[in-house]
A and B are shown apart, each in its own frame.
Chain A
Amino acid sequence: MKFQNVINRLAVAIRQVARTDVLDLLPLLTVLLLLLSPLSTWYLHTPLVLLCIIAVAYRKLLKATPFWYIISVLWGTTIYFHWESTDNHKYLICYWCLALCTTFSVAPKDQLKALRQTSRLLIGLCMTLATFWKLMSPDYLDGTFFHYCLLVDERFTSVATTFGNISSTALTDNRELWELLREGYLYGIEFQNTTLETSPELGKLARFLSWWTIFIEAALAWLFFMPAHPLVSRIRNFVLLVFAVTTYAVAPVKGFGWILMLLGVAQCHNDEKAFRIAYLVTFLLIQCYTLPFAGIVKLLIER
């Protein structure tokens, strides 16, 4: 009963949030995203956090062009100094802040339209580049890349053990071998080649993941460059949601998922409230994906 109450309250809250003006909602959610994505340089991160806190207190700032200009500069400078470790979603966050900056610099009656067009272009370009690099890569189309991820990358453990017929112990052994290949020389264990434990199912799963990802990313790239039409708009919203729900369940990269959902909300038309709600729900779902479900289930069973 309590759980039901929580769900009901959450649903009401999401509906209320979705009813809020997009130009009020998105800057606020962006500030939340910025606060949850720490920068690696303290002297840039500290002013950014302070600015975000001040903006939350004085909401007028959230619609000010100079505010978003400063945020973009701080964020961009951090990327410039730490390009070697900066993930791609941080670049997208930077472009998004710049988009908010330019949006609030145009006439108020055209701001929504400006934001919608910029967001659509950003999603389209991001998906085009992602597809381009996958097509160009020598080890993607044949499933090599995902096979490697399923065997070595910790983020893929639950998918590999659930659908790939491989034990978590075997995956732990693989990660130890991987680490020893790179760091073993420090412990007097030096080798250049190693064979990892695998299963035939993992190879098939890897090929499926490769083709599914490239198919959906290419579809998104194409849909987001299509001219505006109500049917196209509905299809692209649906496909973007399917992409987020499926991709981030397998590879929980929440920073990327969150910024894509914000861009999704931004490019929605006024009459697409249902999609706006769906994007906000998926925003929360992406956070839920990072919960240690296997551990929770194990804990409940042990109790």
Chain B
Amino acid sequence: MANHLEPSRQARTQPPLTEGTGRFRLRITLAPLCLCVVALLHLYRVQWNQQTPWKGGGFAMFSTVDARAARYLKLYLVTETDLIPVAVPSTLRKRANQLRAAPSETKLRDFATRLLELKWYNQRLHREAIKQQLLETDSNHVDPLLLTNSSSSPQNVPSQLQAPDFRAISPQDDNARHFQPLETQGVRVELWRYQFVSRHASLHGRKHLEIEIARTKSTP
């Protein structure tokens, strides 16, 4: 019985780690070692996975124009007659950021597929419908589910420009049934990247990746 308890008692009374021992050295270098491992992974991802050097823990901030902001998405809904430009829906913002931070064909396809799953409605027509309802009925009886937040415009876009008409709503959203969705044939996603030419102080955008997915019969 005494022998059985021996190891645990020994563990409890183990002398504290002191300077000069191997375990002490391991403890003090553990955090710097983690930093080195993450930095190596970051180096690999920047070199081979097109990851922006700014992200990923490699301490490459303020070293290049090629930050996540320099990689931007252009999204379009494909209809029978038109290509309708739309902003990144809030539900896909995280995926959009991942795609911009380390773009790949797989991520682009996944993003486009998810974009295709969303239902889109025309905000302007929707607002007009609410206005009509207000005129026809008592304003106190307007269905609050019909009112959604208006889309937020980018910070630096001139205020006189009109906000985009189309907004996404997830099919799983309870409010989805209140909206008249747009008939789309598919989606088109483009990933652009700009470079800065210091001599002319000019920004040059270039299409980096693109994909167009058509709606199949099985797609909801």
Determine if A95 and B34 form an interchain contact, defined as CB atoms under 8 angstroms apart.
yes
Cβ proximity bits A193-218 to B, threshold 8 Å, 1 near / 0 not: 11111100001001000000100000
Measured between C-beta atoms, what is the minimum distance from B92 to chain A in Å?
13
Asked whether any CB of chain A lies closer than 8 Å to the CB of B127, the reply is no
Determine if B60 and A98 form an interchain contact, defined as CB atoms under 8 angstroms apart.
no
Determine if A110 and B17 form an interchain contact, defined as CB atoms under 8 angstroms apart.
yes
CB<8 Å pairs between A and B, sample of 10: A84-B68, A88-B60, A110-B18, A130-B61, A133-B58, A133-B63, A136-B63, A145-B62, A147-B201, A196-B201
Asked whether any CB of chain A lies closer than 8 Å to the CB of B57, the reply is yes
Determine if B198 and A187 form an interchain contact, defined as CB atoms under 8 angstroms apart.
no
Determine if B55 and A85 form an interchain contact, defined as CB atoms under 8 angstroms apart.
yes
Chain B residues within 8 Å of A137, by CB: 53, 60, 63-64
Measured between C-beta atoms, what is the minimum distance from B91 to chain A in Å?
16
**Complex Cα spacing A16 to B32, Å:** 31
Q: How many residues of B contact A (CB 8 A)?
A: 65
Determine if B161 and A106 form an interchain contact, defined as CB atoms under 8 angstroms apart.
no
Cβ proximity bits A164-179 to B, threshold 8 Å, 1 near / 0 not: 0000000010011111
Decide yes or no: A102 and B55 within 8 Å by CB, A181-B203, A187-B164, A195-B202 being known contacts.
Answer: no
Measured between C-beta atoms, what is the minimum distance from A98 to chain B in Å?
4
From B3-11, B139-147, B152-160, the one touching the partner chain is: B152-160
Decide yes or no: A139 and B65 within 8 Å by CB, A79-B57, A147-B198 being known contacts.
Answer: yes
Chain B residues within 8 Å of A105, by CB: 17, 27
Determine if A102 and B31 form an interchain contact, defined as CB atoms under 8 angstroms apart.
yes
Determine if B32 and A145 form an interchain contact, defined as CB atoms under 8 angstroms apart.
no
Measured between C-beta atoms, what is the minimum distance from B102 to chain A in Å?
7
- Which of B19, B157, B192 has the most A CB atoms < 10 Å from its CB? B157
- Which of A125, A187, A198 has the most B CB atoms < 10 Å from its CB? A187
**Complex Cα spacing A197 to B203, Å:** 11
Asked whether any CB of chain B lies closer than 8 Å to the CB of A163, the reply is no
Using CB atoms, name the residue of chain B closest to A90: B57
**Complex Cα spacing A126 to B155, Å:** 33
Asked whether any CB of chain A lies closer than 8 Å to the CB of B177, the reply is no
Asked whether any CB of chain B lies closer than 8 Å to the CB of A142, the reply is yes
Cβ proximity bits A86-104 to B, threshold 8 Å, 1 near / 0 not: 1110011001101100110
Asked whether any CB of chain A lies closer than 8 Å to the CB of B44, the reply is no
**Complex Cα spacing A191 to B56, Å:** 31
Chain A residues within 8 Å of B154, by CB: 179, 182-183
**Complex Cα spacing A18 to B62, Å:** 32
Decide yes or no: A185 and B74 within 8 Å by CB, A83-B56, A193-B205 being known contacts.
Answer: yes
Asked whether any CB of chain A lies closer than 8 Å to the CB of B211, the reply is no
Asked whether any CB of chain A lies closer than 8 Å to the CB of B181, the reply is no
Measured between C-beta atoms, what is the minimum distance from A267 to chain B in Å?
12
**Other than the known A92-B35, A114-B28, what 20 A-B pairs have Cβ atoms closer than 8 Å?**
A83-B55, A85-B68, A85-B101, A86-B57, A98-B31, A103-B27, A106-B16, A118-B32, A121-B29, A126-B35, A129-B60, A139-B64, A149-B62, A175-B156, A178-B203, A181-B194, A182-B154, A185-B85, A193-B202, A196-B202
Asked whether any CB of chain B lies closer than 8 Å to the CB of A219, the reply is no
Asked whether any CB of chain B lies closer than 8 Å to the CB of A62, the reply is no
Chain A residues within 8 Å of B85, by CB: 185-186, 188
Chain A residues within 8 Å of B12, by CB: none
**Complex Cα spacing A99 to B57, Å:** 17
Determine if A106 and B58 form an interchain contact, defined as CB atoms under 8 angstroms apart.
no
Decide yes or no: A193 and B203 within 8 Å by CB, A98-B34, A102-B31, A147-B198 being known contacts.
Answer: yes
**Complex Cα spacing A221 to B12, Å:** 41
Chain B residues within 8 Å of A193, by CB: 202-205
B70-110 residues with Cβ-Cβ distance < 8 A to A are 72, 74, 85-87, 94, 97-98, 100-102
Determine if A87 and B205 form an interchain contact, defined as CB atoms under 8 angstroms apart.
no
Residue in contact with B203 in the complex, picked from A138, A149, A189, A194, CB distance below 8 Å:
A194
Asked whether any CB of chain A lies closer than 8 Å to the CB of B217, the reply is no
Chain B residues within 8 Å of A45, by CB: none
Chain B residues within 8 Å of A82, by CB: 94
Determine if A95 and B31 form an interchain contact, defined as CB atoms under 8 angstroms apart.
yes
Cβ proximity bits A250-266 to B, threshold 8 Å, 1 near / 0 not: 01000000000000000
Using CB atoms, name the residue of chain A closest to B162: A187
**Complex Cα spacing A61 to B206, Å:** 53
Using CB atoms, name the residue of chain A closest to B36: A125
Decide yes or no: A182 and B72 within 8 Å by CB, A95-B34, A106-B18 being known contacts.
Answer: yes
Determine if B24 and A179 form an interchain contact, defined as CB atoms under 8 angstroms apart.
no
**Complex Cα spacing A147 to B27, Å:** 43
Residue in contact with A86 in the complex, picked from B15, B55, B59, B87, CB distance below 8 Å:
B55
Asked whether any CB of chain A lies closer than 8 Å to the CB of B39, the reply is yes
Determine if A139 and B196 form an interchain contact, defined as CB atoms under 8 angstroms apart.
yes
